[in-house]
């Protein structure tokens, strides 16, 4: 039986639940969204044993560095979320939005030859928040729309990355 290693990590905007398969992050969700973690496990990892373990030091250091201000460190974290080929293409495109920048659903849809609604659905199914930074996708008018972790977190993350000025 395969194993997923489950850890938690505290952030300024709430705890994260992180699941690793070997050294690859497959789930990263805010701890108060536990139902999303359970749905992912049930859907994609039903035959895996879940083992609670401390977060590997190298991953903990990278997450600490991000929350201390190193906006680009998340790009060095290996991830492998399971999804449809379309979802995979959207999640990969999310990683190409530089920290400190945003892109509208429409812009991302145009880039991928898709529709804003389809982008929104794929974003909403993203099981690896932060690493596949769906918080960097905003409404066409600049509004902070749709974020599974909550709009308050989306705003905090965008301010932290410098995409929104703290006024």
How would residue 166 be classed by pLDDT, with cut points 50, 70 and 90?
low
Give the tokens for residue 53.
């373990």
> How much is the CA Rg of the chain, to the nearest whole Å?
15
pLDDT digits 0-9 by tens, 18-69: 999 999 999 999 999 999 999 999 999 999 999 999 999 999 999 999 999 9
Q: Find the helix or strand (DSSP H, E) in which 93 lies.
A: helix 85-94
φ and ψ at residue 4, rounded to 5 degrees:
-110, 135
Give residue 164's pLDDT.
79
* Exposure b/e, 64-92, CB count within 10 A at least 16 = b: eebbeeebebbeebebebebeeebeebbe
- Beta carbons within 8 Å of 83's beta carbon, 6+ residues apart: 91, 122, 125, 127
Q: Which residues are catalytic?
A: 134
Cα–Cα distance, 105 to 116 (Å, whole number): 5
Cα–Cα distance, 161 to 99 (Å, whole number): 6
pLDDT digits 0-9 by tens, 107-157: 999 999 999 999 999 999 999 999 999 999 999 998 898 888 889 999 999
How would residue 76 be classed by pLDDT, with cut points 50, 70 and 90?
very high
């Amino acid at each position: 039986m395969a194993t997923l290693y489950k850890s938690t990590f505290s952030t300024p905007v709430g705890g994260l639940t992180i699941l690793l398969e070997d050294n690859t992050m497959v789930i990263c969700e805010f701890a108060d969204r536990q139902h999303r973690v359970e749905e992912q496990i049930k859907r994609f990892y039903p035959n895996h044993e879940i083992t609670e373990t401390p977060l590997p030091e190298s991953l903990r250091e990278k997450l600490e560095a991000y929350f201390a201000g190193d906006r680009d460190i998340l790009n060095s974290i290996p991830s492998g979320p399971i999804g449809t080929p379309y979802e995979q293409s959207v999640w990969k495109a999310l990683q190409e939005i530089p920290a400190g920048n945003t892109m509208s659903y429409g812009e991302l849809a145009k880039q991928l030859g898709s529709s804003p609604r389809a982008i929104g659905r794929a974003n909403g199914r993203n099981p690896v928040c932060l690493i596949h930074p769906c918080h960097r996708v905003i409404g066409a008018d600049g509004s902070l729309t749709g974020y599974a972790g909550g709009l308050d977190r989306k705003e905090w993350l965008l301010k932290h990355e410098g995409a929104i000025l703290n006024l």
